[in-house]
């Protein structure tokens, strides 16, 4: 449920621009600062995931998400908007490490790819619900009331989780041996293969955040699409991604993670080139959804590779580290692109993203025999 709020503020940018007087730099800051907060909390969150009962951390993540949703109804300035969206970053940091660690520990290796795929599908489906609901309800109740509606639903889910989920905390045995300390963390930081995988994820996030932040603005300003239609399309992309994550998980179990990781990069590059150069608007919109499909198809492969590289005693920290470079680098991308857009035009988000994905693919090739 916390994923519902993840992309709603980004989808709203065409609406918030006139309402709050946003320029390209303000848009970049709205996209970037929550990611900086998430990056700063990533390592502490991972360390907690290996030491604190998982269900307790997940409950705290749900609470932060619900609070952020309620507070967004009061956001009438850019600083307040940024501050309240940062609560969703806190929520993500609290939820993902323990959840992914639990999946990797509890699911047998032979079906681990499917498990990561379905986990990702659930998250991307939640991400889709936010923008899609905005596209249908925006003219009826306004965007603030859409946040209020989802906050009420999130609060109800949180109460149910507290009622039934936390009952299992007393039965949960700690997965942290007393002898494990800083030595396990240091071994992770010295794993060269893992470090290069993190560089790949950083490049992937750099390109992906550049596109995601400004794509609705591109649709509205350049392609002259109605704002509600652009928001709907933006919301459909993670919905398509939910299917892609499931498909990717199944294929990872059959062929291994690296093949599908590489295929995802190649197809994203191809899709973005079509979006950037095709004059046929229906083709551009359909290809954008394909771009989203192949981006989500990479997720279970990425998580599968991380789980294979790291022993289960350090996976909470490892999964947190897998978010860190992408979060920090991705937080720079929208602000950097804001200056490029002001100087050259919004179209240049596409060659920028293609360059990032191509760099990631080259590094993956160098690691091919080690993963």
Q: Is the pTM higher than 0.85?
A: no
Residues sharing a CB contact under 8 Å with residue 310, sequence separation 6 or more, in sequence order:
188, 191, 194, 318
Using CB atoms within 10 A of its CB, is residue 18 exposed (0-12), middle (13-18) or buried (19+)?
A: exposed
What radius of gyration do the chain's Cα atoms show? Answer: 20
CB 276 within 8 A of CB 351: yes
Question: pLDDT, tens digit, for every residue of 346-358?
Answer: 999 999 999 999 9
CB 32 within 8 A of CB 335: yes
**Distance between CA 364 and CA 257 in Å, rounded?**
11
CATH class of domain segment(s) 2-172+182-370: mainly alpha
**Distance between CA 271 and CA 285 in Å, rounded?**
10
DSSP 121-173: HHHHHHHHHHHHHHHHHHHHH-HHHHHHHHHHHHHHHHHHIIIIIGGGTTTPP
Going by C-alpha positions, the residue among 60, 318, 277, 99 that lies closest to residue 193 is: 318
CB 304 within 8 A of CB 257: yes
Give me the helix-helix angle, 281-309 and 257-277, nearest 10°: 160
Residues sharing a CB contact under 8 Å with residue 7, sequence separation 6 or more, in sequence order:
127, 130, 131, 212, 234, 235, 238
pLDDT value at position 187?
58
pLDDT value at position 175?
44
Number of helical (H) and strand (E) elements in the chain, helices listed first: 14, 0
Q: List, for the chain, all residue ranges whose pLDDT scores fall below the cut of 50.
A: 169-170, 172-183, 186
Going by C-alpha positions, the residue among 312, 328, 307, 315 that lies closest to residue 47 is: 315
Domain parsing of the chain, residue ranges? 2-172+182-370
**Distance between CA 109 and CA 199 in Å, rounded?**
25
CB 128 within 8 A of CB 116: no
């Amino acid at each position: 449920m916390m994923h519902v709020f993840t992309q709603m503020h980004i989808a709203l940018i065409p609406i918030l621009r006139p309402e709050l007087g946003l320029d390209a730099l303000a848009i970049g800051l709205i996209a970037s600062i929550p990611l900086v907060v998430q990056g700063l909390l990533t390592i502490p969150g991972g360390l907690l995931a290996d030491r604190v009962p998982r269900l307790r951390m997940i409950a705290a993540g749900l609470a932060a998400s619900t609070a952020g949703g309620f507070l967004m109804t009061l956001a009438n300035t850019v600083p307040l908007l940024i501050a309240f969206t940062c609560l969703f970053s806190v929520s993500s940091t609290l939820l993902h490490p323990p959840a992914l660690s639990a999946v990797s520990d509890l699911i047998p290796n032979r079906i681990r790819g499917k498990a990561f795929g379905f986990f990702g599908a659930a998250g991307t489906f939640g991400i889709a619900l936010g923008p899609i609901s905005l596209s249908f309800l925006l003219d009826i109740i306004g965007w603030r009331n859409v946040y209020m509606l989802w906050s009420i639903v999130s609060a109800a889910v949180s109460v149910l989780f507290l009622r039934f989920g936390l009952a299992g905390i007393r039965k949960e045995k700690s997965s942290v041996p007393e002898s494990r300390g800083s030595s396990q963390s240091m071994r992770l930081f010295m794993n060269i293969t893992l470090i290069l995988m993190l560089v790949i994820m950083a490049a992937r996030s750099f390109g992906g955040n550049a596109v995601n932040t400004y794509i609705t603005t591109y649709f509205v300003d350049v392609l002259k699409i109605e704002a509600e239609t652009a928001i709907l399309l933006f919301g459909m992309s993670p919905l398509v991604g939910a299917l892609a994550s499931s498909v990717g998980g199944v294929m990872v179990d059959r062929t291994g993670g690296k093949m599908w990781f590489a295929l995802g990069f190649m197809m994203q590059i191809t899709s973005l080139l079509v979006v950037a150069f095709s004059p046929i608007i229906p083709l551009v919109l359909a290809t954008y959804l394909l771009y989203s499909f192949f981006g989500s198809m990479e997720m279970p492969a990425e998580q599968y590779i991380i789980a294979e590289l790291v022993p289960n005693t350090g996976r909470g920290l490892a999964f947190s580290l897998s978010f860190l470079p992408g979060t920090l680098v991705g937080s720079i991308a929208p602000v950097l692109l804001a200056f490029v857009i002001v100087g050259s035009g919004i179209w240049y988000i596409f060659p920028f993203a293609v360059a990032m994905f191509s760099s990631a693919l080259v590094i993956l090739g160098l690691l091919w025999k080690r993963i």
